[in-house]
Amino acid sequence: MVSIYEAFYVDNYKKTLISIEEIKPEEYSRKYWGKLFCTEAGCEAKLSYVKLPGNKSHFRKWRESPHSENCIHFAERIDGRTGTRQVGVQNGFISPEQMKKAQREAFELEILSAEERIKKREDDREKRLNKKNTKKVTKTVEQPAIRVIVDPAHKIEDTNQVKGRLYKRDVDALKEKDLGQTRTVTGRIEKVETGEKSALVRICKNNKFVNIRFGEAFFADAPQYEGLFYYIDQFATENNNAVFNATGEVKQNEQTNEFELIVFNRDGLLVHGRTLSYIATTYSIESDKN
């Protein structure tokens, strides 16, 4: 997508070509509002003025006034969600390595003390600021939002898939906008329930609860984990406040209104920094000794 820096200003049937620099923000609502249009031939999209710092101001079409299909600014809306600089939604994937890395980072952050956490946040901020200073100024390009799908039932064969970002959320930080998205969620184990090809780990942070669900799709990907969730229960009983990290799709339970996380991948869980196989092996070696 090309950003728009020129518009036709139509006033009293007089059409003038103006550029973004000519618009004085304080004049916009009084003088230009509703009178700016796309300059492409055959396109009558109404434009508004978006004021942004650092030479990033541009024109944007009105919500209800699309560009004509032949206009270079025309963008098909694939999904209902489009952000300011995001055009449509592209399918993305995350690798097992990304999952494991996100869970490990989330675990390490969770076990830091409060002071260490504040210090880490400050260090990270400083790092980010330093990066910004050295970054070359490049023109912002409009890009589609990337939606990562982990549910095998909804996965589509799409060769254009790109690597998506994996966001981390503590249990108490989950929001409506995370619904339907793939997230790595972190909390302390409250209880574990196991069934046939199903398991549930209830985790908590600051009095907010999330059920992490493992169903048939998960056990199809990880048949070796069947019957092993019992060890998570044992581990949580022996270790107070055991940390649990899981990567999956965020849902909302209709009865309780609580957020839930559905895990589909064998790499979708970490038990206090350990894999389930590791915990199960440790316990079975111990029971062999007895």
Residue numbers at the binding site for Zn ion (CB under 5 A): 38, 40, 43, 45, 67, 71, 73
When the beta carbons of 45 and 174 are compared against Zn ion, the nearer one is 45
The distance of closest approach from Cβ of residue 41 to Zn ion in the complex, given in angstroms and rounded to an integer, is 9
The distance of closest approach from Cβ of residue 72 to Zn ion in the complex, given in angstroms and rounded to an integer, is 7
Q: Locate all alpha helices (DSSP H) within the chain, ordered by sequence.
A: 25-27, 96-111, 114-134, 216-221, 229-238, 276-289
The distance of closest approach from Cβ of residue 67 to Zn ion in the complex, given in angstroms and rounded to an integer, is 3
The distance of closest approach from Cβ of residue 85 to Zn ion in the complex, given in angstroms and rounded to an integer, is 17
| Angstrom distance (rounded) from CA 272 to CA 277 | 13
When the beta carbons of 74 and 93 are compared against Zn ion, the nearer one is 74
When the beta carbons of 71 and 232 are compared against Zn ion, the nearer one is 71
When the beta carbons of 64 and 196 are compared against Zn ion, the nearer one is 64
34, 56, 58: which is closest to 46 by C-alpha?
34
| Angstrom distance (rounded) from CA 37 to CA 46 | 5
Buried-exposed string 84-94: b where 16+ CB fall within 10 A, e elsewhere: ebbbbbbbbbb
CA dist list (Å): 233 to 271, 274, 275: 10, 14, 14
The distance of closest approach from Cβ of residue 82 to Zn ion in the complex, given in angstroms and rounded to an integer, is 16
Q: Locate all alpha helices (DSSP H) within 135-249, ordered by sequence.
A: 216-221, 229-238
When the beta carbons of 43 and 232 are compared against Zn ion, the nearer one is 43
